């Protein structure tokens, strides 16, 4: 069986990564599995442990780092976020194409470790629109919104580190573009 691909979906907080993912994650042709991350952030209303994230204490997260249990990890606006390595390997060994939805520092670590990873950076139509989206979501207090927006400006400077750049103006169109990228890579793998 062919090992599954590793796909990185990255971009500033609030750009619409999660929204776009919803449009293509049920497309069976993509044979996708979403990698659930570990985080020390507190759950938002409606978030479910084990589905949206594995919510953890800082102590347990640091233990996971020390034990080499994470493919990548980063501190983002006061919280740790990381990708459990074992699950990614298990899914890829089963032939699944694994999707990581992660921020920029983590995306760079994954690309260093797995140069074949398909990295996609989502950009907003403008920084004003990014701000509207992050505020419109109403999930963070003002102080955190400010920190996330400051972080976003720096993250936008890292676009050249990615193989593909997709603008999320219309989420359905962005999802279609990403689907095309993934399906082409699946085809290339099959013809290897
Ligand atoms: N193309 C779009 N046009 C207008 N609003 C959008 C668009 N895409 C997403 N949104 C809205 O922007 C907000 C942020 O989207 P979303 O939560 O998907 O971002 P995200 O990149 O996954 O954020 P985070 O990285 O913080 O998890 C949501 O309220 C979503 O409905
Ligand atoms: N490096 C990693 N970044 C991750 C991971 N899981 C999520 N994220 C990114 O963190 C920010 C903030 O997320 P939020 O849910 O608090 O809004 C966002 O850019 C996520 O994509 C991970 O495992 N590693």
Which CATH superfamily, name and number, covers 6-190?
P-loop containing nucleotide triphosphate hydrolases (3.40.50.300)
- The answer to whether 104 touches 158, Cβ cutoff 8 Å, is yes
pLDDT in tens, 135-149: 999 999 999 999 999
ipTM of the complex: 0.98
Q: Average pLDDT of 5-24? A: 97
Q: How far is CA 31 from the centre of its chain?
A: 17
Question: For the chain, how many residues are written?
Answer: 192
Residue entry with tokens 């594995």:
54
The closest residue, in CA terms, to atom 11 on ligand 1 is: 133
For the chain, what is the mean pLDDT? 97
Residue 38 vs residues 6, 138, 189: alpha-carbon distances, Å: 18, 22, 29
pLDDT at 16 over 90: yes
E-strand ranges in the chain read 6-10, 32-34, 38-39, 54-55, 70-76, 79-84, 97-101, 118-123, 164-167
pLDDT at residue number 74? 98
* Whether the predicted pLDDT of 8 surpasses 90: yes
For residue 128, the number of C-alpha atoms closer than 13 Å in the C-beta half-sphere is 0
Q: Residue 182 pLDDT more than 90?
A: yes
CA-CA distance, 118 to 169, in Å (whole number)? 21
pLDDT bin (cut points 50, 70, 90) of residue 25 is: confident
What's the rounded Cα separation, in Å, for the pair 133 and 111?
28
Would the pLDDT of 88 be above 90?
yes
Residues with a CB atom less than 6 Å from ligand 1:
13-19, 133, 136-137, 168-171
pLDDT tens digit sequence for 151-180: 999 999 999 999 999 999 999 999 999 999
Domain spans of the chain?
6-190
Residue 68 pLDDT exceeds 90? yes
Radius of gyration of the chain (CA): 16
Q: In angstroms, what is the span from residue 75 Cα to ligand 2's centroid?
A: 9
Number of other CB atoms surrounding residue 191 within 10 Å: 6
User: What pTM was computed for the model?
Assistant: 0.97
Ligand 1 center from residue 73 Cα (angstroms):
22
Of the candidates 100, 81, 105, 103, the one whose C-alpha atom is nearest the C-alpha of residue 89 is 100
pLDDT of the residue at 1: 81
């Amino acid at each position: 069986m062919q090992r599954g691909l590793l796909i990185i979906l990255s971009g500033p907080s609030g750009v619409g990564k999660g929204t776009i993912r919803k449009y293509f994650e049920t497309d069976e042709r993509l044979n996708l599995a979403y990698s659930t991350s570990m985080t020390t952030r507190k759950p938002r209303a409606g978030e479910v442990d084990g589905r949206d994230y594995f919510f953890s204490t800082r102590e347990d997260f640091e233990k996971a780092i020390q034990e080499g249990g994470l493919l990548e990890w980063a501190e983002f606006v006061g919280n740790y976020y990381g990708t459990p390595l074992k699950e990614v390997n298990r899914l890829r060994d089963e032939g699944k194409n694994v999707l990581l939805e992660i921020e920029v520092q983590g995306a760079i670590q994954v690309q260093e470790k797995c140069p074949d990873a398909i990295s996609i950076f989502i950009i907003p139509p403008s920084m004003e629109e990014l701000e509207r989206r992050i505020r419109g979501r109403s999930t963070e207090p003002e102080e955190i919104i400010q920190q996330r927006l400051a972080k976003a400006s720096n993250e936008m400077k890292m676009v050249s580190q990615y193989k593909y750049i997709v603008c999320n103006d219309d989420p359905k169109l962005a999802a279609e573009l990403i689907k095309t990228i993934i399906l082409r890579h699946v085809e290339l793998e099959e013809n290897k």
